[in-house]
Structure 1
């Protein structure tokens, strides 16, 4: 089964944005960002697109499937 790998933490640190700040920008709880970064939660397409927009990258740059 494929696992979704995310670069949210990398981009967040690169842009000096706290988890709570990112959560506020995309209208979710901080815990959701924590779960996304730890691979415990797969985002909806809308959430994935919203997060990518914050960092000005594509969804494909932010998320990838790992075998």
Structure 2
């Protein structure tokens, strides 16, 4: 994963994809239990992935990332 060889937009998109994949993996493991956990009860790595995904999406929506 050579992020330094990509432009800023591609780096942010890749970070968002990585975070989204981690969240989906966690959700697949825990969905058998039924209820979703509140953010305060999430494992720290899942909480960090959720934050990274939301921040990356906000940056991409802001449209100030070079293309």
TM-score (norm 1): 0.30
Higher helix share: 2
Larger Rg: 2
TM-score (norm 2): 0.30
Structure with higher RCO (Cα < 8 A, 6+ apart): 2
Higher strand share: 1
